[in-house]
Structure 1
Amino acid sequence: MKKKAIIFGVFMMALVLSACSGGFKADHHYSIAPFEFTNQNNEKVSLDDLKGEIWLAQFVFTTCTTVCPPMMSNMAEIQEKLEAKGIEDYKIVSFSVDPDVDTPEKLGTYLEGFDVPDSSKWEMLTGYKMEDISDLAVKSFKMPVIDDPNSDQVIHGSRFGLVDKEGKVVKSYPGNVDVPYDTIVKDMKALNKKD
């Protein structure tokens, strides 16, 4: 009887601790390869610079004619919802998948076109080779980035990746259509509370 009481007590403690963790449950723990790229302000941004921050990642490019404009608009809407909930500790990191074309200046102008609530939270990254970003996308985010040899377009994943304070990709969401805005905001809020 005493053994059952101890097991029950341990179970209840585990239940209470899981409830106290803010209810966040990671879907995966993908490690991100170290990087140091250039943002829209010509500043260097590395994985180490982002440690200690919650961030949402996406892969886009400025001459994209399909999924990128809706992804950028959807990310701006997520930011509006984060601000409405009073969530301030986060970054939005957009990796260009067309680094030969997307200069820091071009990325800055592109960002301005989406009327984002707070551009200081955005890191629009470039300054690397195509194979580097393809490697990073596939190995760290499990998303394809493939240069289309028959056009100026790049085939790439359209999901948003949620990265925790340790620099691990813990969840991913549709970024183009059927974006679960409220779930993303809830997850970011819970992840911010988790230490």
Structure 2
Amino acid sequence: MKIRFLLLILFICTLLVSACGQKKIENEVTWPIKDFSATTQDNKPYGLKDLKGKVSITAFIFTSCADVCPPMTSNMAKIQKKVKAEGLKDVEFVSFSVDPTVDSPEVLTKYGKQFGVDFKNWTFLTGYSQEFIEEYAGKNFKTIVKKPEEGNQVIHQVYLYLVDKDGNIKKTYNGYQNVPFDEIMNDIKALQ
């Protein structure tokens, strides 16, 4: 009887210690993403179902961006390399174009190649209207996307979004400057 009791106590202590070591995401949110219909850089259909069961890092960019998008894409490429180096599975990278009339699948492919992205787990999206991406970004990602009537630049924010396996945004990060690479990697692992 004493042995069973001691084993039970040992088992409970083991559970408590292991629970204390679990990684948590600080300041996490739960913003569900609604389904969408887009076209990939490979000219294939893509929607939320393609992300189910995977953790993803998402950004809003456009290929003719004069300032923030190249560093954002470069920073995402660094995260992609870290994910690969650590052998993490089921992690996707998604870049929504905020200038879909300019960013055709071919243009997005060329853009991605400039940053050495691995298209096996990074998808660039287009194939929707300007009105759609402006509304979708605002309602689902709580971010601004607006293409002025004049000029070729699109107003958008520089966040990277961590999305869980069920399609919920869990956290946002600055994707342009002072990117918290270690924090992002820890948060990805916490969702695995």
* Secondary structure in 1 matching 2:120: helix
Alignment partner, residue 173 of structure 2: 173
**Which residue is 2:130 aligned to?**
130
TM-superposed deviation, 1:24: 3.3
Matches within 5 A, 1:21-40: 21-25=22-26, 27-40=28-41
Query: Residue 76 of structure 1 aligns with which residue?
Result: 77
Change (3 A) 1:51 1:148: same
Query: Could you state the TM-score of these two structures normalised by the residue count of structure 1?
Result: 0.86
Structure 2's unaligned 5+ residue stretches are: 1-12
- The answer to whether the 8 A contact 1:144-1:156 is kept is yes
- State, as a whole percentage, how many aligned pairs show the same letter: 44
CA distance in 1, matches of 2:15, 2:32: 27
Aligned to 2:62: 61
**What secondary structure does 1:34 align onto?**
coil
CA contact (8 A) 2:23 2:186 kept: no
Summarize the Cα distance change of 1:26–1:90 in structure 2 as closer, same or farther, 3 Å threshold.
Answer: farther
> Offset of 1:149 from its aligned partner?
2.2
Contact 2:144 2:156 in 1 (8 A): yes
Show structure 1 runs of 5+ residues with no match. Answer: 1-11
8 A Cα contact 1:32 1:136, kept in partner: no
Secondary structure of the structure 2 residue equivalent to 1:170: strand
Q: Which amino acid aligns with 2:174?
A: P
For residues 15 and 161 of structure 1, do their structure 2 counterparts lie closer, same or farther at Cα, with a shift above 3 Å needed?
farther
Distance (whole Å) between structure 2 residues aligned to residue 86 and residue 107 of structure 1: 26
- Compare 79-88 and 120-129 and name the one that shifted more: 79-88
| Alignment-mate amino acid for residue 109 of structure 2 | G
Bigger-Rg structure (1/2):
2
Which 4+ stretches in 1 moved above 4 angstroms? 12-18
